[in-house]
Structure 1
Amino acid sequence: MKKVYFLQTCDTCRRILKEVNTESFERQEIKANNITVAQLEEMYVLSGSYEALFNKRAKLYKAMDLKNQELSEADYRQYLLDEYTFLKRPVFIINDEIFIGNSKKEVEKVKEKIG
């Protein structure tokens, strides 16, 4: 399975999707089509942590003053389900591997994986 979760309004996501050949990928725009509990659970199993999927750079993270709170995995899970902006993006799932976020290193790993 090849899938990518992204945000169409995010310049970084758009740039990465141009760089990476996603023709054979199922593409899900997370603002128009929110992630489901099942999809989040699948990402959790592959990543091992909700925190790894959580975007601590989101404006809402600062606005809600979450940086000054101790969040549990259950908290991260709930925030990810409640608000699409909390998903660190893009998220690529290629077979049984997950690639989270937009760091150069992560994007290079995706490129290597899909050849």
Structure 2
Amino acid sequence: MRLYGLKTCDTCRKALKSLNGVEFIDVRVQGVPENVLSAAFENFGKALLNTRSTTWRGLDDETRNRPVLALLTDHPTLMKRPLIEADGQMYLGWTPETRQALGVA
């Protein structure tokens, strides 16, 4: 299982505490592999983009109008977090649905 997020993100920390045997990938430092990003975009579409983030608010309109995958490649911190890859499935956010699917109370 892999968790893509930020080490400073409270939600990512909660997820990491609750999950056992998870590999953490800090998207600010390591980025997100292109194949993972593409698969996540296929699964979640524009929901993958966090338009409430500080990074988003700092972008000009021209940059905001770029394709989602291009934006996330250049600014990985714009990705909604955490993105969890487990047993061939992808989960976005630390929602009750995600926790239930991963068997976490």
1:61 to 52, 56, 81: 56
CA spacing shift, 1:48–1:31, aligned 2, 3 Å: closer
1:4 maps to what in 2? 3
Unaligned segments of structure 2, at least 5 residues: none
Provide the C-alpha distance between the structure 2 equivalents of 1:8 and 1:48, rounded to a whole number of angstroms: 22
2:13 maps to what in 1? 14
CA spacing shift, 1:69–1:41, aligned 2, 3 Å: closer
Provide the C-alpha distance between the structure 1 equivalents of 2:31 and 2:4, rounded to a whole number of angstroms: 10
**Contact 2:92 2:98 (8 Å CA) reproduced:** no
Provide the C-alpha distance between the structure 2 equivalents of 1:60 and 1:5, rounded to a whole number of angstroms: 17
Provide the C-alpha distance between the structure 1 equivalents of 2:82 and 2:23, rounded to a whole number of angstroms: 13
Unaligned segments of structure 1, at least 5 residues: none
Provide the C-alpha distance between the structure 2 equivalents of 1:57 and 1:48, rounded to a whole number of angstroms: 17
What SS does the corresponding residue of 2:29 show, helix, strand or coil? Answer: coil
Provide the C-alpha distance between the structure 1 equivalents of 2:64 and 2:81, rounded to a whole number of angstroms: 23
The alignment status of 1:81 with 2:68, answered yes or no, reads no
**Contact 2:38 2:69 (8 Å CA) reproduced:** no
What SS does the corresponding residue of 1:31 show, helix, strand or coil? Answer: helix
1:26 maps to what in 2? 23
CA RMSD of aligned residues (A): 2.3
Structure 1's consecutive aligned runs of 4 or more residues displaced over 6 angstroms after TM superposition are none
Deviation at 1:70, TM superposition (A): 7.6
CA spacing shift, 1:48–1:90, aligned 2, 3 Å: closer
**Residue-by-residue CA offset, 1:75-95 (whole Å, 9 max, x unaligned):** 111110001210100111222
The alignment status of 1:91 with 2:83, answered yes or no, reads yes
Provide the C-alpha distance between the structure 2 equivalents of 1:42 and 1:32, rounded to a whole number of angstroms: 20
